[in-house]
Each structure stands twice: as C-alpha cells, then as structure tokens.
Amino acid sequence: MEALKSKIRDVLDFPKKGIVFKDITTLLKDRHAFRKVVNIFGKRYRKKKIDSIVAVEARGFILGAALAHRLGVGIIPVRKKGKLPYRTHQVKYQLEYGRAVLEIHRDAIEPNERVLLVDDLLATGGTTEAVCKLIKKMKGKIIEVAFLIELTELKGRRKIKNPVYSLIKY
C-alpha cells in the first residue's frame, strides 16, 4: 500500500484553512496505480454477488465506474441537490466544513438489491452515513462500504452501521 500512498498528494489549506486535502488525481493519472486499485477492489468483491455500485459525487464516480465495469454491474450516482433530472429521494447532512443535501433517483434501487457503496475518502463519515440512509430508505441491502482512503483519526467509521473496507489508511 505504500506504493499507492506515495501516489496521493497532500494539498494544504484546501478547501479551507487547516484542512489537508488528499488529492487522488495524481494516483488516477498513473495507469499502473489506478489499475492496481481497481484490481484490488475487483478481487475483493467479485464473489460477493453485488447487483449495483452506488457511487458518491464526484471522485466516487471515478472509482465506482471503473469497479462497476470490472464487476459487470451497473452504477448508481448519488449527487448534490438539483443535479439529477428525475424524481429523487433527498437527505440533508453535515459535512466536515458545512451542510449539504444529497439525492438519488427514486427508481435507482430495487428492494433487496445488493449494493456496494463506493467513495474516495472516509473522513468524519457524515456523507457516507447520509448515503446509507438513502439506500436503506429504498430497502437496498448494503453489502459493504468501500473507500480508497480512510482518515482514521477522524473516526468516521463509527457513524457507519455497515461493514467498511478502506484500502489506504492515514
């Protein structure tokens, strides 16, 4: 994992002063590192009978789409309020540095559909907790919640009531 960690850039004071942003664009640009990430996730989930991947805007889309392609399943986007064109379910939640609303299409998940929730980073867990609420509202079954990165000192894992897997931990 150290080789993958070395591909992630720290950006100081982004998006606001005092935050150290973990920039994965440097990892994504490296075809070998990106392929390795997708292959690790693919191997972990290939026998878990996943029906769909739920991916969170925006970097979660990148990882989720690549993994969905690898597993041969569909991808379900969760977006910020007003970005999806059809009827939606909404959830309000607290970010590390503000408040927001997330949406998912009302017809995106069937009852008992086995979903894998994918995002790039687990920090305080607020976004993930909110997305889990949306999935449960639609009676989807969350098999696991997967992250490329987890910031362990922020203890976001505590908010998540489902199994969590993080590839890289800081």
Q: Where are the alpha helices (DSSP H) in 74-161?
A: 126-137
Q: Active-site residue numbers? A: 59, 96
Between 31-45 and 59-71, two packed helices, what is the crossing angle to 10 degrees? 60
- Pick the closest to residue 40 from 72, 70, 6 (CA basis): 70
CB 16 within 8 A of CB 39: no
Amino acid symbol at 13: D
